[in-house]
Chain A
């Protein structure tokens, strides 16, 4: 109840301006010329001081991309994208030899401050009481302080501007750095895993990303290490007419554990901007990766003008025995979302999980879901998807669960529920279930309904306003998924949900 009260208040506060992250940071930036060509790819690669093989890898992807067609099967509708009318690289102009956080452009620091992402170590994400004061030393953190701490990699347009808690993580043996840095400092590790989960040939946007990706995070957790804190990347698109193409690669070596959070926002603009990311996760024997996303890209205005096209390929590979990958996502932003975080359950006894809340309002279009591909014996997966459509939005769950011949005793449970608010929106469910093994047990259930009059009446009877009642019911509807989020994010996400639904009641 307290949480609901909080969300309602939050909604009131920002009554006027629903999208509170829509500001633009005035900062000088350095851009590659507009358009896409082999020269641009060479430019990006040179800019990052990449090894020769990486450039070849990119060029190969680019040549393949030129032969590919944009996918058209999703239930989304948008004018054709002119891929030559985009900037593929933009970085804030930086001072030479950036050594510590203090040297980061104060404008950028201010931006992240405003977004509630403290880049100064020791501070925490919004929603949790922050602790002022200087760094008390790494040892204390490693020994497990009661308060949560999060290491942040901040990506601003095409480059990573800051990564916090690096030394402390290094003590545990965890590598957490921008992928461009990883390519220079840990080239063998990157080369071994990059593109093994999402190959360069995978799909139109993944191939484009392989050619032009500029930055993103790289995480390696060594054997037997439980990552001492949550890792987080915060993506911010600032520059106009710029696409963001980040690439994240997370490797959890045998017996390790890591929890990773991702957040994203962009300024309010009339134009549509493209975000085509690739995320690859690799879990080896007995390892576990928990990947959480709160996606809040600018969704466009009420008439569907502007907003981010979020065309993302995310896939986890449970390569080892007893490995586990869990995706949790709260999708509230973007004009168009095209996103299917998937798990390839290769190792015996491996487990994949997908928890999703997808909220669409205004003219947003969401086509999202997951794939659970059971290849190994005794693999199991669980899908909980909650879609909420309001305004004039279209919200589609699209998912695949398949068990291959050798996936004996594979198990899946899928539950996708949709809630409709208002009579101009649509909610759709398109699941594919493919069982090629008799001992595989699949269960799938889906429901679509509106907030029942009875429930609403019950709440109104007890003196809640209609808005409060809806917030309460919606919070109950998505609770299964919110519980999966790390605490700091859960609070943030809950606020976000009420903000996204603002204006759809009454």
Chain B
């Protein structure tokens, strides 16, 4: 069905094809990497940008949303680096190990590459690709979902990113913070690919933030592959506060070993068009994931959270909770799929997506899916959409709380459930204040 529709190429698709041809031989990597890029681009080229007839992208029609393909960002200038350094980042006060990525390029000079804890290795993707690092080569693309155009594009164009390895049994107390900064002075696109491999029994806390300094059009395509070994634990948070000139595509691909624990939280308040994709593969018996997220949107913002959890081994547990607060003309989308393979008996999976619509013109689309092939499972999902409860507001106002404050309290309580499980206390309080910031910003469009 869908294939026939792609006959006419859009300017963005033509732009991408031209860019790929021009960059031939200029992107990092040996012949194997080059072959990978070409295969990925060929797969992308055969279907083009996804549109509403493509089921997985039904509510985020990239073909019409992405009018043009912006040129690849130039390596950051000295001024850009200074500007980025001076900009206050969200997690600045955490004392985290900062790895700074400006306009898609890792800037070691601004990053804390020294004094690594025993068992921790940090390098850049550009270097790993150029040197043909066998470790990176063996892991890259292993968690790749089938036929996802955003991931294909990322693989085709990937330039830089970070490569983090945590050795078996190493417990890294100091959080690692990936600081993504867009200078935003000229329209640009970036393709960042990172790889994080956490060995058996190891432990890591990873934070990721995205911000833009200027307001030029910006198309980041972020890929992150995370491999969590047996008995290992990874806590991950992401905060997206880019300008509303950004079209942000992020693909998070995780493979979990036996009894691995993965806690995830993501907060989106920025971006014009955001698609956060999470691909989870629970490969090992007894893995346990807790995935939460909050999208706070206003103006014309469009944010799509798409989650695919593949339960491939017995006895895994998954909890997924997503909340959207939608003001003005914004549009929130949640697509979640729990898939249970025939062997994954005793799976226990629950998914909840809730939306609070603050304006008559906001829209929420939700598609929680279950795909079950094993009989001894407990799986459930729920979704709700509605306005603020008038009774609750009345209750607060009857106790002397002004209307807007009451509303703000109720929204915080609504969002709060997604934050409460963040183990790292200061990370949690920073994210809570980010939610409060958004509420403070009030009716004006948030940048």
Q: Please report A residues at the B interface, Cβ cutoff 8 Å.
A: 69, 71-73, 405, 418, 420-450
Q: Please report B residues at the A interface, Cβ cutoff 8 Å.
A: 1, 55, 342, 345, 355, 357-387
A444 to chain B, nearest CB (A): 5
A432 to B59 alpha-carbon distance, docked (Å): 11
A73 to B56 alpha-carbon distance, docked (Å): 12
Partner of B385, one of A73, A418, A440, A448: A440
B373 cross-chain contacts in A, Cβ below 8 A: 425-426
A437 cross-chain contacts in B, Cβ below 8 A: 357, 360
A440 to B365 alpha-carbon distance, docked (Å): 12
- A449 and B379 within 8 A (CB): yes
B382 cross-chain contacts in A, Cβ below 8 A: 443-446
16 A/B residue pairs, CB under 8 Å, sorted by A: A423-B376, A428-B369, A429-B381, A433-B385, A434-B365, A436-B363, A438-B362, A439-B360, A441-B385, A442-B385, A444-B383, A445-B381, A445-B382, A446-B380, A446-B382, A450-B376
B345 cross-chain contacts in A, Cβ below 8 A: 423
Contacts known (A72-B1, A446-B370); A435 close to B381, Cβ less than 8 A = no
Q: Count chain B CB atoms within 10 A of each CB in A73, A405, A433, A447 and give the residue with the most.
A: A433
A450 cross-chain contacts in B, Cβ below 8 A: 375-377
- B375 and A421 within 8 A (CB): yes
- B358 and A438 within 8 A (CB): yes
Closest 9 CB pairs of A and B: A438-B357, A420-B375, A435-B385, A429-B370, A441-B386, A447-B380, A433-B366, A445-B382, A448-B379
- A428 and B384 within 8 A (CB): no
A422 cross-chain contacts in B, Cβ below 8 A: 375
A450 to B379 alpha-carbon distance, docked (Å): 10
A424 cross-chain contacts in B, Cβ below 8 A: 342
- A432 and B367 within 8 A (CB): yes
B366 cross-chain contacts in A, Cβ below 8 A: 431-435, 444
A434 to chain B, nearest CB (A): 5
- B363 and A448 within 8 A (CB): no
Q: Main secondary structure on chain B at its contact with chain A?
A: strand
A439 to B390 alpha-carbon distance, docked (Å): 11
Contacts known (A435-B365, A438-B360); A449 close to B383, Cβ less than 8 A = no
A446 to B369 alpha-carbon distance, docked (Å): 9
A432 to B355 alpha-carbon distance, docked (Å): 14
A437 to B362 alpha-carbon distance, docked (Å): 7
- A446 and B364 within 8 A (CB): no
B164 to chain A, nearest CB (A): 37
- B1 and A418 within 8 A (CB): no
A418 to B381 alpha-carbon distance, docked (Å): 12
Other contacts beyond A438-B387, A447-B378: 11, CB < 8 A: A69-B1, A73-B1, A423-B342, A423-B376, A429-B369, A432-B367, A433-B365, A434-B363, A444-B382, A445-B381, A449-B378
B370 cross-chain contacts in A, Cβ below 8 A: 418, 427-429, 446, 448
Residue of A nearest to B381 (CB): A446
Contacts known (A423-B375, A448-B377); A443 close to B55, Cβ less than 8 A = no
A434 to B383 alpha-carbon distance, docked (Å): 11
A441 cross-chain contacts in B, Cβ below 8 A: 384-387
A448 to B342 alpha-carbon distance, docked (Å): 14
A438 cross-chain contacts in B, Cβ below 8 A: 357-362, 386-387
A340 to chain B, nearest CB (A): 16
Residue of B nearest to A438 (CB): B357
- B368 and A448 within 8 A (CB): no
A449 to B386 alpha-carbon distance, docked (Å): 28
A432 cross-chain contacts in B, Cβ below 8 A: 365-367
Contacts known (A442-B384, A443-B384, A448-B379); A431 close to B374, Cβ less than 8 A = no
B355 cross-chain contacts in A, Cβ below 8 A: 435
A417 to chain B, nearest CB (A): 9
- B367 and A433 within 8 A (CB): yes
A438 to B387 alpha-carbon distance, docked (Å): 5
B372 cross-chain contacts in A, Cβ below 8 A: 418, 420, 426-428, 448
A430 to chain B, nearest CB (A): 5
- B364 and A435 within 8 A (CB): yes
B375 cross-chain contacts in A, Cβ below 8 A: 420-423, 425, 450
A90 to B380 alpha-carbon distance, docked (Å): 47
A425 to B386 alpha-carbon distance, docked (Å): 35
B357 cross-chain contacts in A, Cβ below 8 A: 435, 437-438, 440
- B368 and A446 within 8 A (CB): yes
B361 to chain A, nearest CB (A): 8
- B363 and A439 within 8 A (CB): no
Q: Count chain A CB atoms within 10 A of each CB in B357, B369, B370 and give the residue with the most.
A: B370
A504 to chain B, nearest CB (A): 11
A405 to B329 alpha-carbon distance, docked (Å): 12
Residue of A nearest to B386 (CB): A441
A431 to B382 alpha-carbon distance, docked (Å): 10
A405 to B357 alpha-carbon distance, docked (Å): 13
Residue of B nearest to A436 (CB): B363
B242 to chain A, nearest CB (A): 26
Residue of A nearest to B327 (CB): A438
A366 to chain B, nearest CB (A): 14
A432 to B382 alpha-carbon distance, docked (Å): 12
- A433 and B383 within 8 A (CB): yes
B339 to chain A, nearest CB (A): 9
A448 cross-chain contacts in B, Cβ below 8 A: 370, 372, 377-380
- A447 and B358 within 8 A (CB): no
Contacts known (A429-B369, A430-B367, A433-B367); A442 close to B386, Cβ less than 8 A = yes
A425 cross-chain contacts in B, Cβ below 8 A: 373, 375
A71 cross-chain contacts in B, Cβ below 8 A: 1
A430 to B374 alpha-carbon distance, docked (Å): 17
Residue of B nearest to A414 (CB): B383
A436 cross-chain contacts in B, Cβ below 8 A: 363
Contacts known (A428-B369, A435-B365); A440 close to B377, Cβ less than 8 A = no
Q: Count chain B CB atoms within 10 A of each CB in A72, A440, A444, A448 and give the residue with the most.
A: A448
Residue of A nearest to B59 (CB): A434
- B55 and A73 within 8 A (CB): yes
A63 to B360 alpha-carbon distance, docked (Å): 42
- B369 and A430 within 8 A (CB): yes
B371 cross-chain contacts in A, Cβ below 8 A: 426, 428
A420 cross-chain contacts in B, Cβ below 8 A: 372, 374-375, 377
A131 to chain B, nearest CB (A): 45
A173 to chain B, nearest CB (A): 43
A88 to chain B, nearest CB (A): 26
A421 cross-chain contacts in B, Cβ below 8 A: 375
Residue of A nearest to B55 (CB): A73
A405 to chain B, nearest CB (A): 8
A418 to B362 alpha-carbon distance, docked (Å): 32
A426 to B360 alpha-carbon distance, docked (Å): 39
Residue of B nearest to A446 (CB): B381
A445 to B355 alpha-carbon distance, docked (Å): 14
A443 to B372 alpha-carbon distance, docked (Å): 22
A444 cross-chain contacts in B, Cβ below 8 A: 366, 368, 381-384
- A442 and B383 within 8 A (CB): yes
Residue of A nearest to B376 (CB): A450
A65 to B375 alpha-carbon distance, docked (Å): 41
B6 to chain A, nearest CB (A): 15
A391 to B369 alpha-carbon distance, docked (Å): 22
A418 cross-chain contacts in B, Cβ below 8 A: 370, 372
A447 to B380 alpha-carbon distance, docked (Å): 4
Contacts known (A429-B369, A435-B364, A435-B365); A423 close to B377, Cβ less than 8 A = no
Residue of B nearest to A73 (CB): B55
A194 to B345 alpha-carbon distance, docked (Å): 50
A44 to B149 alpha-carbon distance, docked (Å): 49
A346 to B12 alpha-carbon distance, docked (Å): 40
A424 to B357 alpha-carbon distance, docked (Å): 41
- B386 and A440 within 8 A (CB): yes
A465 to B341 alpha-carbon distance, docked (Å): 31
B361 cross-chain contacts in A, Cβ below 8 A: 405, 438
A436 to B359 alpha-carbon distance, docked (Å): 10
- A447 and B379 within 8 A (CB): yes
A400 to chain B, nearest CB (A): 10
A263 to chain B, nearest CB (A): 30
